[in-house]
Structure 1
Amino acid sequence: MDQSIIANYEAAKALYAQHGIDVDAVLEKLSEIKISMHCWQGDDVRGFLNKDQALTGGISVTGNYPGAASTPAELRSDLEKAFSLIPGKHKVNLHAIYVDTDEKVELDAIEPKHFEKWVTWAKEQGLGLDFNPTCFSHEKSADGLTLSHPDPAIRQFWIDHCKASRKISAYFGEQLGQTCVTNVWIPDGFKDSPVDRLAPRQRLKDALDEVFAEELNPAFHLDAVESKLFGLGSEAYVVGSHEFYMGYGIANNKLICLDAGHFHPTEVISNKLSALSLFADGILLHVSRPMRWDSDHVVTLDDELIDIGRELVRGDLLGKTHIGLDFFDASINRVAAWVIGTRNTIKALLRGFLDPVEELRKAELDFDFTTRLALQEEFKSYPFGAVWDYYCAKQGVPVREAWLADVKAYEQDVLLKRGTETAAAKN
């Protein structure tokens, strides 16, 4: 390791130690936290089940940067490259449309065997897997309704799909020895104001009760439910609102998913964590950046991300919170997007660990708000970067922006050759 990195780290350690912060212990805790990196950044949410199906469900991906993965093997290669530049061992979050099989199969009939190559790869890489049923980009979701559809046959199709997804999740957990979180999100809603707001929610509740009827081992599988404020095509009414899923999750012991982009533009999920933690069995985060509501921008180290990290640390919520990413940007290198977003999420947690929480809490209890504000502001310029550099070097990944050269080389050697090699083979 570069001696200057070590020297800067030792100097930073001494400063933080003056406030009772054991930086070595912090880095040990940080190395145990797993971020669930979403696979769909690598191919613009197309998947491999119905690749030619238009992207629907109020989801939009913009940009045409070259090199999007078009096969499971390409996607796994891109994920490997990204993980080689991110400190720690983490998880991959799969959607059901990312099957890896030559078999023609429908969503309601998917089985663990259709994801066996993903499991084998995850074992080789030392990674965990999370999962999601894909209730969009399908002919049976064309009406904008799935689990709340008034047609019993269509509704049953999506119920069966979610049931199949839970069994795949349990298989992942059992095979990998890591709990697999399976998150149910549906796009159901109306573009204009409905006459009956209650009936779709009653159908959704009944459908979810059927989906979750089978008890699965929580050591291998956990269920989560995710709300949304509105979506493209569901601007007036969303069946699975925050109130609906918060009530359902608490009443049925399900993880409640908070997506950073699924609320009003003035709302932040960092402020919801402490309240929800008092009542929910667990929390799932979809960390995104809603520049204009749910615009799913690559996560930057902004105030909200730092506050999320702080809340998780200060409230001792990491034990009951599962952290996942959810963004998709096709205007930049997709591997770089993963690296930037995941490294920033880990940085936010590190920032939380390096705050003088006990001093701040004591000042607050003493109504010494002067000390509270002074310490909060002064710690903004403490040498967090020196600790981050050391952590990256210790974990064997590039320090600071050195990772970008690796991504650029991968782009030249791999990403830019995609499509041209296929075309040459055909000729």
Structure 2
Amino acid sequence: MSTAIQNQYQAAKVLYSGFGIDVDRVLETLSRVKISIHCWQGDDVHGFLRNEALSGGISVTGNYPGAARTPQELRCDLEKALSMIPGKHKVNLHAIYADTKEQVDLDQLEPRHFETWVEWAKKQGLGLDFNPTCFSHPKFQDGFSISHPNPEIQEFWIKHCKVSRKIAEYFGRELQQTCVTNFWFPDGFKDVPIDRMAPRKRMKEALDKVFAEKIDPQFNVDAVESKLFGIGSESYVVGSHEFCMSYALKNNKVICLDAGHFHPTETISNKLSALALFDTQILLHVSRPVRWDSDHVVIMDDELQEIAKELVRNQLLDKVHIGLDYFDASINRIAAWIIGSRNMIKALLRAMLEPTDMLRKAELGADFTTRLAILEELKSYPFGAVWDYYCQQNQVPVREAWLTEVKQYEAEVLQKR
């Protein structure tokens, strides 16, 4: 271990101990947090089942060279990214990432079509999460999937969601880590509808059928994800926040909050404490909207830090599942994974290095001067020294050293694809 990093860490420990913070214990806690890293950043959400153009509110911009073309290439790229991210985490798969030579449609998928992913995850010490893919398919018609008025089309999507839960159960059982299965539907209208209720009634009835079979929550938990608007659903989305929150609370499902799925002036950090009071688990899709749900790479901005602070201050890390969800094809895709993942972990570390009890006591005593003063002074405390030590402790590159390795991988692997 670098002597300089060790010395800087020891000095930082002394400073933080002045607030009663045990930095060694903080790092132990941080090491137990798992981030669910989204596979679809690696190939621009194409998957391997069909050669369909993206549709259903999904768009990826950019043409940076080196996108993964096969499951093997994608896993190789993920391994490279994970080697730069401290800790042991999870990988989040969409149904279109099945690894099979069979011609199989979404409603016919089985656990065996993901066996190679499970074997890989076992070797890497990773968990897996899952998502049915209800977009970019011929049966996504007229802007609707599971709430489509045509019973045959609707039944196709219901069956796809049912088999997705069985695949997720297989992941959880084989890997002995709970799989979170997230259900998001792009259903909606481009222009103002006459009947807003009928599609929601169809979606509610369809979800009741999807979730009718009980699955051991040790292996799989189900989440429903809302959205404000999307491409082609600018005026109306069936699965709105009110719909999904109500459905989840009534049916004991996980609520998924995506950072880009709300009005530009809304923040999901402010919703966490409200939802957590009602004994529900929460799934986060941490993204970065720029004016809309544009899925930019996660940076250390104010909202990311507020999300982390809410999780830590309210002791929510045991009931909130943290996943990333963005896709940028304008930069090196492996770098995108690394930047976003490291920033999520950094934000949690910063939050854990805050004297929450002291600040809460000042707030309860109406000592808002102390609250503001301490929060501002903490901004110049050496959290970076603690982060460098944590990276070195986990045998991943310190600071920007990871970029050199990614550039070398790009030259040796990505540019030859």
Describe how 1:22-421 pairs up with structure 2 within 5 A. Answer: 22-50=22-50, 52-418=51-417
AA partner of residue 176 (structure 1): L
**Runs of 4+ residues deviating >3 angstroms:** none
The SS at the match of 1:292 is coil
Partner-residue secondary structure (3-state), 1:203: helix
State the secondary structure of the residue aligned to 2:266.
coil
* TM-score normalised by the chain length of structure 2: 1.00
Q: Which digits, 9 at most, give the CA deviation of each residue in 1:51-101, with x for residues without a partner? A: x20101111100000000000000000000000000000000000000100
Change in CA separation of 1:47 and 1:309 when aligned onto 2, cut-off 3 Å? same
- Please report how far the alpha carbon of residue 144 of structure 1 lies from its aligned counterpart in structure 2 after TM superposition: 1.0
CA RMSD after TM alignment: 0.5
Please give the alpha-carbon distance, in whole angstroms, between the structure 2 residues aligned to 1:165 and 1:143. Answer: 23
Q: Which residue type is aligned with residue 34 of structure 2?
A: K
Structure 2 partner of 1:19: 19
State the one-letter code of the partner of 2:362.
Answer: A
CA distance in structure 2 between the aligned counterparts of 1:20 and 1:27, rounded to whole angstroms: 15
Structure 1, residues 246-281: CA drift from partner, whole Å, max 9, x if none?
000000000000000000000000000000101152
Match for 1:415: what amino acid?
L
Q: Note if contact 1:255-1:280 (Cα within 8 Å) is conserved in structure 2.
A: no
| Partners of 1:245 and 1:364 in 2: CA distance | 34
> Matched residue of 2:385: which SS?
helix
Deviations 1:150-187 (A, max 9, x none): 00000000000000000000000000000000000000
Task: Give the aligned residue type for 1:35.
Answer: I
**Counterpart of 1:236 in structure 2: which amino acid?**
S
The answer to whether 1:2 aligns with 2:2 is yes
Q: Distance in 2 between matches of 1:339 and 1:277?
A: 29
Q: Which amino acid aligns with 2:38?
A: H
- How far off is 1:4 after superposition? 0.3
Secondary structure of 2:144's partner? coil
Percent of pairs identical after alignment?
72
Q: Which amino acid aligns with 2:306?
A: D
Shift of 1:291: 1.1
SS at 1:140 equivalent: coil
Q: 3-state SS of the aligned residue for 1:304?
A: helix
Task: Say whether the 8 Å CA contact 1:226–1:257 is kept in structure 2.
Answer: yes
C-alpha displacement at 1:143, in angstroms? Answer: 1.5
In structure 1, C-alpha distance between the alignment counterparts of 2:143 and 2:279, rounded to whole Å: 29
Cα distance in 1 between the residues matched to 2:235 and 2:220: 34
- The answer for unaligned runs of 5 or more in structure 2 is none
Contact kept in structure 2, 1:256 and 1:280, CA below 8 Å? no
The two structures have a TM-score, normalised by structure 1, of 0.97
**Inter-partner Cα distance in structure 2 for 1:304 and 1:56:** 29
Q: For 1:295-324, what per-residue CA distance to the aligned partner results, in whole angstroms no more than 9, with x for missing partners?
A: 000000000000000000000001100000
Supply the distance in 1 between the matched residues of 2:61 and 2:383 (Cα, whole angstroms). Answer: 34
Structure 1 unaligned spans of 5+: 419-427
Give 1:142 deviation, angstroms.
Answer: 2.9
* SS of structure 1 residue aligned to 2:64: coil
Amino acid at match of 2:132: P
